Copies of this chain bind each other. A is one copy, B any other.
Amino acid sequence: MTKTAAVFLAEGTEEMEFSITYDILVRGGVKAQSVYVPAEGAPASPPNGMVTASRGVKLGVDTTLADLEKEGLATVDALIVPGGVGGANTISKNPSVLRLLKGAYEQGKIVGMICAGSLAALEAQIGVNKAITSHPSVKEKLSSSFQYQESNVVVAGPLITSRGPGTTFAFALTLVEKLMGAQVCQEITAPMMLSQEHL
């Protein structure tokens, strides 16, 4: 069975974090899907099928949150929340996203969060009192509810968190390792011209 990962995407998502994660999941043999999360009160789909990411890159939507909710989590093996302040705020305040994240975590499915995306762990109340990391700019909001760490990637059961664009390669490879195994992870590293120092 092909493994499937849903990567949430909203206006203001960090484009490097989104693209690196999506791309590396696909290189690792995972079926990645971008799932559009509308701002409160906005239509289910974005205008022209695209969002404008945090630095202006336009990213297309594969499916919508409404569709993911209809389908449920049965065919999803991982849920990912990228950063970018605007995008992470929209995603981590959305009640449907929080329900899906909590459900996935409780079923032991992989839940990945990076940068300001880690705020979703607080909002969904998953992994509380366990290890977490995030972009330093949101550390203060997290440090009383979690065991905050400064590592590039933190694995705490099914919750995998990371720090920012510069740690996204390591984050995405950890997701691939958990979903597909260490061997796959190793095979895809060299062709990307990634050296060990990146990881």
What residues of chain A have their CB less than 8 Å away from a CB belonging to chain B?
14-16, 18-20, 22-24, 26-27, 32, 34, 48-50, 53-62, 115, 135-136, 152, 163-167, 169, 191-195, 197-198
Contact = CB atoms under 8 A, between A and B. Distances in A.
A63 to B, nearest CB: 12
B164 A191 contact: yes
A114 to B, nearest CB: 10
A48 B169 CA distance: 30
Contact of A165 (B23, B56, B59, B60): B23
A95 to B, nearest CB: 27
Most chain B beta-carbon contacts within 10 A, residue among A27, A164, A165: A165
A112 to B, nearest CB: 16
Query: Copy number of this protein in the oligomer?
Result: 2
Contacts of A166: 169, 192-195, 198
Max chain B CB contacts within 10 Å: which of A32, A191, A192?
Answer: A192
Contact of A192 (B24, B48, B165): B165
Given A14-B23, A26-B56, 17 more contacts: A16-B23, A16-B24, A16-B192, A20-B165, A22-B57, A23-B53, A23-B57, A34-B57, A50-B50, A58-B60, A60-B60, A135-B193, A136-B193, A152-B193, A164-B192, A197-B197, A197-B198
Contacts of A23: 14-16, 53-55, 57, 165
A167 B195 CA distance: 9
A55 B143 CA distance: 36
Nearest to A189: B166
A16 B20 CA distance: 5
A169 B19 CA distance: 14
B169 A194 contact: no
